[in-house]
Structures are given as structure tokens and as C-alpha cells.
Amino acid sequence: MEQRKPLTTAKIKKMKMDGVPLAVVTAYDYPSARLAEEAGVDVILVGDSLGNVVLGYDSTLPVTLDDIVYHTRAVVRGAGSTFVVADLPFLTYHGSIDSTMRAVARLMQEGGAKAVKLEGGAEVAPVVEAIVKAGVPVVGHIGLTPQSVHQIGGYRVQGRSSEQAEKLLADAKALEQAGAFAIVVELVTDELAEWLTKQLSITTIGIGAGATCDGQVLVFHDLLQYGPESVPRKFVKTYANLGETIRTGIGEYVKEVKARSFPGPDHTFHMDNDVVQYLYGDKG
Ligand code: KIV
């Protein structure tokens, strides 16, 4: 397949100015990354949603830096010409700047990411500034921030009141000021996402935030229904049902093994007749 010209943060900024939407998807391993690249996504996020959709946790909190480094490496191997962003996991950027920079270094050097993402608003702006000063592009994440789920009290739409909207704008502006080149805006109303997007010079990437953001992101397993049946969420559109396809495929395999109809002649190797004769007693 033809190699694409690498996307850069400057090009992402230009896409906003030209009104060209940014298509982002999460991926966590070699095949999903490779397929996403072949399908033409602009950016792959190795999100800590890894915890929910791949590792079987009920939140993103147990995901470790080692987990994200390991999965980022696989993604970068699969999608060498795509801009890969890696999530900084829970509490890896709330200690000293030194320990934050060590975490960032691992994502970039060992993982091969081109940028990092972290959750939070004005309170993490100094951290964003330090990372950007070290030459690492940063994506912010506001609205519903899953790493704070226990403080927020559940996965619900954020910023419905004018005070909350003003707070989110102040957070977004603080991240912009600190040098973030994009911000994920999760689970807010369409009106709020549009209001934020219009007042920011950096790219907004929506998830559950309507159609007005500069780009969209969805979780690989959600958009392809790849996994056990789950409760449908309003903001997720499923474009394929891989779960059903996989379940049916494996079910057919199990049936054929039980019926001894797999492997059939097409999937079976044979040896020369003289050796068969030798083995079966006609040693001759
Ligand atoms: O972890 C993740 O996949 C994310 C997206 C939902 C934006 O942060």
C-alpha cells in the first residue's frame, strides 16, 4: 500500500482553518492499527479505554503506563504512517514534573507515539506547558474525563449549565494557552461543543459532542461492535457488527470440529503413498 505523507500538528491546525474534519479512532494492537490506517484515519489514539474494551476492566483506572507503552508499540508497528497519540494513564502526570516527563519519555521513546493525551482543564495546564516545552505535542481532554469518574459520579453529559459551560471554556483556553494542539471534548451538548470550537484556535475532537467539533473520535470496539453485546450508547454509531460475525464464525468452527467435518480435504496434508504403506504395516 502507498505510504501517506505524515500528518503533523501544523497540518492538523490547517485542517481546522480550512474546515476539513479530522477523523480519529482508537486502536490498541497491530491488526486494528493497520486496518485503521488502510481505512484512511488521520490520527490513531491509543486510549486508556484499552482498560474497558481490551483488558476487561470496568473503568480506565487500572490501566498502567506499561500497558499503554506495550500497546502503543504494537499500534505504531501496524500504522507507521499515521499520527499516533498515546494516553497518559491515571495518576501518571499528577506527581512531580520529573515523574511526568519520565512517563512521557516512555510513551515517545519506547512506544513510538508522536503526541500524548491527558485529561483535565486549567489544573493540568502547567503540566501541559512543561511537556510542550520539552518538544512533545499534547492533546487535552475535557468534558467527561473518565479518569475522574468517581469524582464526577458516573458517565453523564457535562456542561449543561451556563456556569459549567464557562468553566469548560476557561479550561479549554488554559490548555490552548499552555500549548496543547488539540482537545478531546467528551460527552457535552452539541451547542456547547460548537461554542467552545468557535472560541478556540486549536482543534476540538468530539466524542458524544455533536457534529460541530473540528474532528471526531470513536473507540474502535464501539464503532465496529467488536466485543460482547453491550448497552447501546446514544453517541455511538456502529458501522459494522464484528462481534456477531466473530461469534457466528467461531460457532461454525465449533460445530464442524464436533461433527469432524473440519479439517476437510482442502485443509489437509498428505504424504507419499510408499511412506503410507510403510507406516501402515506393508513394510515391504
Ligand atoms: O481512552 C480513550 O479512548 C479516549 C477517547 C474516548 C477519547 O480518551
Residues 253 and 171 in one domain: no
Same domain, 60 and 152: yes
Whether residue 96 sits in one domain with residue 53 = yes
Are 255 and 189 in the same domain?
no
Residue 3 lies in a domain: no
- The range of the structural domain enclosing residue 267 comes to 245-280
Tell me: do 274 and 134 sit in the same domain.
Answer: no
Per the domain annotation, does 106 fall within a domain?
yes
Is 152 in the same domain as 269?
no
Is 16 annotated among the ligand-binding residues?
Answer: no
Query: Which amino acid belongs to residue 178?
Result: A
pLDDT at 1: 58
> Block means of pLDDT (10 residues each) for the chain, length 284 residues?
82 98 98 98 98 96 98 98 98 97 98 98 98 98 96 91 97 98 98 98 98 98 91 91 97 98 97 94 62
What does each C-alpha distance from 149 to 34, 52, 143, 144, 145 come to in angstroms?
Answer: 31, 13, 11, 8, 7
Q: What is the CATH number of the domain that holds 126?
A: 3.20.20.60
Phi-psi bin for 137: left (phi > 0), alpha (psi -120 to 50), beta? Answer: beta
The reply to whether ligand 1 has any atom less than 6 angstroms from the CB of 49 is: yes
Angle between helices 190-199 and 162-178 (to 10 degrees): 40
100/175 same-domain check:
yes
What is the sign of the dihedral through the CA atoms of 232, 236, 237 and 238? negative
Q: Is the CB of 222 within 6 Å of ligand 1?
A: no
Out of 29, 41, 117, give the residue to mutate to test ligand 1, the one with the largest number of ligand atoms within 8 Å of its CB.
117
Domains held by the chain: number: 2
